[in-house]
Amino acid sequence: MISGIRKINNGILLSLLSTFCFSVGNVLTKYISNDVPFTEIAFFRSFIGLVLVSGYMFNNGYTFNATHRKVLFLRGLLGGAALLCSFYAISKIKLGEVSILFQLSPVFVVVFANIILKEKLPKFFYILLISSLIGCVLVIKPSFSNLGNFASFISVLGAVLIGLAYVCIRALSKEHKTHMIVLYFSFTASVVALPWIRNFIMPSLNQWLVLIGIGLAATFAQFFMTKAYSVEKAGIVSMVSYVGLFLNVSWGMLIWKEYLDLYSLIGGVLILASCLMLSLKVYNQKKHMVPVSLGD
């Protein structure tokens, strides 16, 4: 019993550490986004991760050969595009609003898993979908006179892309180690970001340190999350990760005085509640899922 409690505590702690590292990466991204283009930030974030993961694999004698490379590259393409969307939105609108809108990704994961992997939709899914969309509208507050809406819609696009990327991971994880998936993601995301760098700005020493910090935060976040899923149930880890929303909102208020209005708060509560309920329902029916195979 004591070992079981310790296992749960370790899983929750690792998930909290991962969520904290992701939020630190977001803070550093917003901090530097006024001086360094978001495309450069996305490139260096991915490239630094590529160097770190490659070094880890080399030191541990892991092979760099992989099967199903098309799906691996597709996951990297989708994740790289989502990363660009995230960093663009962070540079334009409130950090809390970006975090709220990206919480829509679990909804899109379920939708695409149903369409592509033929996984069963959870009970009351459409009610939760409508609730999430209402929350989305409250956060964005569509208006032709509000240019910030574009960045908000880019956030939603990023959530859609993450949903597709996670479906790829769902299929790949059955036959590939986590470090291989992360390796291909880091490489492909670097390639995706590179063409969008129009006017390269050489970072100063301090900016290089921030960029390295972003890469390190993202890499450690991936490491802690992987460990969390290895010692704790996926449903619990998923629930704990929602703490990131409150961290990002708090960072925005403390550092940039970005206070959310009433509509954004109500919208955030609707999205968060819907996604929490969705995660619970998916977790409860997970034992009935049919294993996914990519074939030969």
pLDDT digits (tens, 9 = 90+) for 72-98: 999 999 999 999 999 999 999 999 999
Q: What is the pLDDT of residue 67?
A: 86
CB 173 within 8 A of CB 294: no
Q: Is residue 170 part of a domain?
A: yes
pLDDT digits (tens, 9 = 90+) for 237-290: 667 778 899 999 999 999 999 999 999 999 999 999 998 888 777 767 655 444
Write out the two tokens for 109: 């994961």
Torsion of CA 116, 192, 38, 213, to 10 degrees: 90
Q: Is residue 148 part of a domain?
A: yes
Q: Which of 33-42, 87-96, 160-169 has the lowest mean pLDDT?
A: 160-169
Count of structural domains within the chain: 1
Q: Is residue 15 part of a domain?
A: no
CB 107 within 8 A of CB 266: no
Compute the Cα dihedral for 211, 214, 217, 223 and give only its sign.
Answer: negative
Q: Is residue 294 part of a domain?
A: no
Q: Is residue 265 part of a domain?
A: yes
Q: Is residue 122 part of a domain?
A: yes
Q: Is residue 23 part of a domain?
A: no
Domain that holds residue 138: 36-286
Q: What is the pLDDT of residue 229?
A: 67
Which pTM does this prediction carry?
0.88
- What residue type is 109 in one-letter code? V
Q: Is residue 11 part of a domain?
A: no
